[in-house]
Structure 1
Amino acid sequence: MALKAGFTLKCLRATGKDHSLSELRFTNGLNVISGASDTGKSYILECIDFMYGSDKLPRRIEESKQYDFILLEIEDKSGKQYTLERSLKGGDFNLYESSIDNITTTIPKIIESSHNKNNSDNISSFLLSLCGILGGQVVKNQENDKVELSYRLINSFCIIDETRIISVGSPIYANNIYTRTLEKSVFNFILTGRDASDLITYEKPQIISAQNSARLEVFDNLIHDLEKRISEFPYDEIIVFAKINELDLQINTYTESLNSVSLEIYHHQIARKDAWNKQQKIENRLSAIEGLLKRFDLLKEQYISDLNRLDFISEGDHFFNQLEYVNCPLCNTPLSEHVKNLLCDEKAEELIDIQTACEEEARKIKILISDLEKTVNSLTNEQTTLTPELDEQIILVKNEDEIIQNVLSPQVISIKDKIQENIDERQKLYGFESDKKRLQELWFLRSSTSIKDSTAEKSIKGKRKQNKPQYDMEARRELCNIIANTLRSWKYVEEGIVEFSDDWDLIINGKVRSSHGKGVRALLFTSFTYSLMEFCNKKSLSHPMTIVIDSPLTTFREDQKREDEDEISGKIQTAFFETLSKCDKNEQIIILDNKEPPRELWGTINFIQFSGNPNSGRKGFLL
């Protein structure tokens, strides 16, 4: 079986410097804290509300000056304990996953004090999760604009201070008239468990009206500008058509001229390209000839050098042959005839070989020189022929460039300028026709928009009526029956019918709550708050299952016209405490009041009494 949602307050503690400590322990069921004024009862509610995420700091009363922190121990329905810690100066919370007495051995987690849908580490998301609420949306105005459900919205149905409990008006409303749609949506969520995320959001009538006015203003400005431009145009419609035809003919004529000149330019470009190609070819050939002639000059010089070398060899051999034989330089012995003859024979043979070789080699070189001279003459003749041809091609390229750049290109520019002038003029004339058509379209669109916007606004109003938040009438009837049973059990009425008025106030036996005095308003407000918790508990709906109510009985007095005023008043007070003492064990009720419960109940409930006297019992909350 799934655990029920909700939580129980176990301990409220104030700590400060010098180990100052004051605390209250709570239990399931009924908790009554009774005492005279100025004993800190309302301060308890302020501290609990502060620990629920209120940005309103508890009052700095005289007794609170020595305290710096408030701690609140909470237990979920599975028995898991948590402790919240917050500075009395405000700010974020420390969350300990332990009882209040074991926080010194636990590392806290810092959670924010404000609801944040993008970060679940905040007090609102933490308390909502204990209530079994994992997100949701509620509407805040008639256009169904939505806000994220936060615990502070739920909290207003669970903590009732001494001012609100006697307020005139519906118990589901706070004091701000601008949040009533929001509060009704939250109330419906508590009754049904269904949020408002499926409702369609509509724009405000003021925004729709402003958008319509803006559209019409845009159309009016466009229409005004077009009408002014049309009225200032120098020609009427007939002349416009004639001028357009005339301009078209001129454009065609200029276009033909442009095509003719462009064709002529093309032919000259072809001629220039041919001349330039020939020029490049001749220049390349002349460059090659010049290189060859330089190399051939070097080659001829090498040939001549070789001939001179051969002449030198031949002449040296001749002189060597003229030398005479002499005696041995060592012993001065004359050479024998046999040796002389042998040397002469060898020398004669060598001489013949050298002479022959030199002559043959010289003959070959002379042939090469002759061939080289022929080649040089041929190249020189070709060079002589090509040079004037090169000059001719250079002149041709220059002439073609002159014709293209200085004659034909200016003609093209001039013709194009004339064509563009005619096109611009024609465009102005077409613009006149376009403006007239556009003006008709704008008038039609303005008329259609005005009708469409009016229809759309009516349609949105109709849809808004159909798509209003649906408040569950059956759930409200069941809640009213529980409130009636509660009031009967308190002996406020013997039999009665409870219902909601059109402005969501309680009606008991035909009399609206706001028409009663303060005491009855407080009692009826309490019956609503307690019965709402009873309803959610029976239906297993999301609810904290703990309520804190300040002064439900203090201002209550029975009808003075009744003779048994004191007896009936005592009966209602006794029945009030007896009924609440028998509440479901899943519920927790904390009552802060000057009135005390009957003595016979003290042992069955958690009763804490403040004496207001430091010498007698417990003086108040803060010691």
Structure 2
Amino acid sequence: MTITLKHLSVHGPGLLPAVVVFDGRRTLIRGPSDTGKSHIWKCIWFLLGGTATLEQFPESQGYDSLELAFLHGEHEYLVRKAMSGGAARVLVRLDDLWVPDGTPNPLEDVNQDLGELLVQLSGAAGKQVLRKRSEKGPITGDDLRHWALLSQPGMISEDATKGKGHGKDKHVSSFSLFLSGLDDSAVELYKTASEKDQAKGRLAAAEAELARLQGVIPADTDRASAVAALAQVDERLDMFATQLQARSSVLKELRQQIFAEGEALSTAMTQQASATSMRERFTLLDLKYSSDLARLGATDEGIQFFEALTETPCPLCGTSVEQHVDPGNLKPRAPIKYRDAIAAEAEKIRALRRGLQPSLAQEQTRLAAATADVQRLTTSLKALEEQEKAVLRSASLEFDSDPRELAESHTRLSSLIDAFDETVRLTAAIDHLKEATKQKQTALVRNIGQHGDDVGAIARQMLNDWGFTSIQSVYVDPKACDLVIDGRRRLSYGAGKRGLFLSAMTIALMQHALRSGHPHLGVVVLDSPLKAYAQKESPDKDREIPTATVNTSFYAWLSRFQGPGQIVVLENEPVDPVTARALDAIEFTDDYARGRQGFYPPRPMIAPPPGPSDGAEFDELA
């Protein structure tokens, strides 16, 4: 699906808009020079993503913004942009024709770059084109404009149709895309200069590393001998590993026994310490009982002695004993009670002492058993430790080589083998990098198949309709992106035919692309396709068809044009009134007295109505 231009308008505060409404199939805007026709072409180019600033002239003073409306399916897009430049604002709404009640749908901003939007609407989204042989990129709005909008200078230019400068390669690619429908996504890219420089850097590094490795490898050594020597070292190391594994198994068993004996010894020593502690406590308690019995015996003897004493007054004061002690203690029964209590206490202590003796004997027996276990386990543990030392000594005596030397030899030989392998890898990498630094140049031949002949057939029929009935063959040269007419390159013709032939190719390319479902903008805008051919002073020797015939035939063909696609023609040459009515042509008269003067509405401050004496001056007014 393509776009269809709807109208172009220029606006300014307090000024009438300058508006041109386009027909959906073909539009002719005709008028003399300096009435704004080329300016319309520049405005369309500018609003479709061109960046060149529009030139200002007296009629455009006060106007500051432009608007281009175009249709795409059921949607109407508006592109608004300041005449001074800057970013474009893109809006969209459903086409008014689809609104049942006639009320326009609201406009909504399109959050997409204008160029990307045009590429998408033209069906070229995702297509890849060559920008140069080392770079690909998406098709851009510039490619669409280049093959759809032909300026007046471009019509007669002797330059190649692909243009000049950095964009010419992608113009060739986009031409092929419109022609054949095939993009360049499958084309293999050349390496960029940066990639070649990187390859050269990697090549130098690889060569330096190869030289270093070759210096490390002894001259009288090859990889096979190094592998054999490493195998012998591995065999010796395996023997060491086997011996160590056997010793490890024995040591593991011994150490398990040592651990078990150590645990048992620790338990026995704990029991010994516990029994010793309990025996000491019981012994100390027995001594205490013995001491208590002795103390009670001494007290009983004291009471007996007290009973034997006679009462005597106090030798100091002469008073009786009743005055110095409790009289109750002097009663005859008191000493007897004391002695009975002492006897009962002594008997209790003797009973406790008799009960202590079995416990003391038991702890003594437990201590003796624990002491014997400690002695036995200590002896067993020492014997196991001596066995462990003997195993370790025997292991060191059985190894007839130094393990450290074998490990060093293994490392050295492994490194040597790695150096041999890395040398092989670097040699292959160097060969590859040498190829990468010298890119092989191959011709790029795009497969356009029958498409070039199809476009040539459309262009030939078109040129025949325009009056060039003698033309017998037309085909497309895909490398030049141009026509070959009757065996001659288009650029070999004079300026007038160059312009007309280029117009025919551009229209034919659009029609072929749209009929074949290939990407294309869907619009062709031609600025003055007939002017160069009609100039009498032109030195074109190939102008065998009269100008009037070509003009009449061209306009008649345009009036019958029904697509596919849309054509907008901006032209100076006069058109027959009947054909003009059939075309519904927009006429610029350059005359205040009749019709439309030009693109911009007349303003008295710029150009007052002409008087009788100055009409000639206003004939030259733009």
Give the TM-score category using the shorter length.
0.5 to 0.7
Look up the match of 1:556: 533
Alignment of 1:87-486 (within 5 A): 87-88=82-83, 89-98=85-94, 106-113=106-113, 115=115, 122-128=116-122, 135-140=126-131, 146-171=136-161, 173-176=162-165, 179-180=168-169, 182-197=170-185, 199=186, 201=188, 203-204=190-191, 220-231=207-218, 269=255, 273=259, 276-289=262-275, 292=278, 367=351, 369-380=353-364, 382-383=366-367, 418-425=402-409, 427-428=411-412, 434=417, 438=421, 442=424, 446=427, 450=431, 468-472=445-449, 474-486=450-462
Q: Is the 8 A contact 1:522 1:552 kept in 2?
A: yes
CA shift, 1:583, in A, is 0.6
CA shift, 1:521, in A, is 1.4
> Residue type of the partner of 1:110?
V
Q: Mean alpha-carbon deviation: is it higher for 568-577 or for 386-395? A: 386-395
> Residue type of the partner of 2:470?
E
Look up the match of 2:472: 496
Q: Is the 8 A contact 1:487 1:493 kept in 2?
A: yes
Q: Distance in 2 between matches of 1:286 and 1:399?
A: 22
Deviations 1:329-364 (A, max 9, x none): xxxxxxxxxxxxxxxxxxxxxxxxxxxxx9999989
Q: Is the 8 A contact 1:526 1:552 kept in 2?
A: yes
Look up the match of 1:14: 10
CA RMSD across the alignment:
5.7
Q: Is the 8 A contact 1:613 1:619 kept in 2?
A: yes
Q: How many residues align?
A: 548
Q: Does 1:516 align with 2:511?
A: no
Deviations 1:554-596 (A, max 9, x none): 2224787999989922221222212112111654321123333
Q: Secondary structure at the match of 2:460?
A: helix
CA shift, 1:267, in A, is 8.5
Q: Distance in 2 between matches of 1:109 and 1:151?
A: 19
> Residue type of the partner of 2:583?
I
Q: Is the 8 A contact 2:203 2:433 kept in 1?
A: no
Look up the match of 2:506: 529
Deviations 1:122-153 (A, max 9, x none): 4224532xxx556434455557x653344542
Q: Secondary structure at the match of 1:589?
A: strand
Q: Distance in 1 between matches of 2:172 and 2:232?
A: 76
Q: Is the 8 A contact 1:95 1:108 kept in 2?
A: yes
CA shift, 1:535, in A, is 3.5
Q: Distance in 1 between matches of 2:157 and 2:174?
A: 20
CA shift, 1:250, in A, is 9.5
Look up the match of 1:599: 577
Deviations 1:389-419 (A, max 9, x none): 76997899799989989x979x979x99942
> Residue type of the partner of 2:146?
S
Q: Secondary structure at the match of 2:533?
A: coil
> Residue type of the partner of 2:531?
T
Q: Distance in 2 between matches of 1:210 and 1:564?
A: 52
Look up the match of 1:329: none
CA spacing shift, 1:35–1:147, aligned 2, 3 Å? same
Q: Is the 8 A contact 2:77 2:90 kept in 1?
A: no
CA spacing shift, 1:107–1:380, aligned 2, 3 Å? farther
Q: Is the 8 A contact 1:72 1:100 kept in 2?
A: no
Look up the match of 2:23: 27
Q: Secondary structure at the match of 1:147?
A: strand
Q: Distance in 1 between matches of 2:600 and 2:6?
A: 17
Q: Distance in 1 between matches of 2:218 and 2:103?
A: 86
Deviations 1:464-523 (A, max 9, x none): 66x942112x32223222222222222234343223456343232333221223222112
Q: TM-score, length-normalised on structure 2?
A: 0.68
Deviations 1:162-209 (A, max 9, x none): 2322222554x23247634x4344333323434454x35355498998
CA shift, 1:73, in A, is 1.7
Q: Is the 8 A contact 2:474 2:486 kept in 1?
A: yes
Alignment of 1:20-99 (within 5 A): 21-61=17-57, 63-64=59-60, 66-76=62-72, 80-88=75-83, 89-98=85-94
CA shift, 1:258, in A, is 7.5
CA shift, 1:424, in A, is 0.9
Q: Distance in 1 between matches of 2:578 and 2:542?
A: 23
Q: Distance in 2 between matches of 1:437 and 1:57?
A: 66
Alignment of 1:562-601 (within 5 A): 568-584=546-562, 586-601=564-579
Q: TM-score, length-normalised on structure 1?
A: 0.68
Q: Mean alpha-carbon deviation: is it higher for 294-303 or for 607-616? A: 294-303
Q: Is the 8 A contact 1:6 1:545 kept in 2?
A: yes
> Residue type of the partner of 2:174?
V
Q: Secondary structure at the match of 1:521?
A: helix
> Residue type of the partner of 1:598?
D
Q: Distance in 2 between matches of 1:249 and 1:29?
A: 91
Where structure 1 has 5 or more consecutive residues not aligned to the other structure, the ranges are 116-121, 308-357
Q: Is the 8 A contact 1:289 1:379 kept in 2?
A: yes
> Residue type of the partner of 1:373?
Q
CA spacing shift, 1:596–1:366, aligned 2, 3 Å? farther
CA spacing shift, 1:110–1:402, aligned 2, 3 Å? farther
Q: Is the 8 A contact 1:91 1:113 kept in 2?
A: no
Q: Mean alpha-carbon deviation: is it higher for 46-55 or for 285-294? A: 285-294
CA spacing shift, 1:36–1:258, aligned 2, 3 Å? same
Look up the match of 2:620: none
> Residue type of the partner of 1:165?
M
> Residue type of the partner of 2:152?
E
Where structure 2 has 5 or more consecutive residues not aligned to the other structure, the ranges are 294-341, 602-622
Q: Distance in 1 between matches of 2:435 and 2:89?
A: 52
> Residue type of the partner of 1:190?
F
Q: Distance in 1 between matches of 2:279 and 2:593?
A: 137
Q: Secondary structure at the match of 1:163?
A: helix
Q: Distance in 2 between matches of 1:245 and 1:396?
A: 45
CA shift, 1:12, in A, is 0.7
CA shift, 1:257, in A, is 9.8
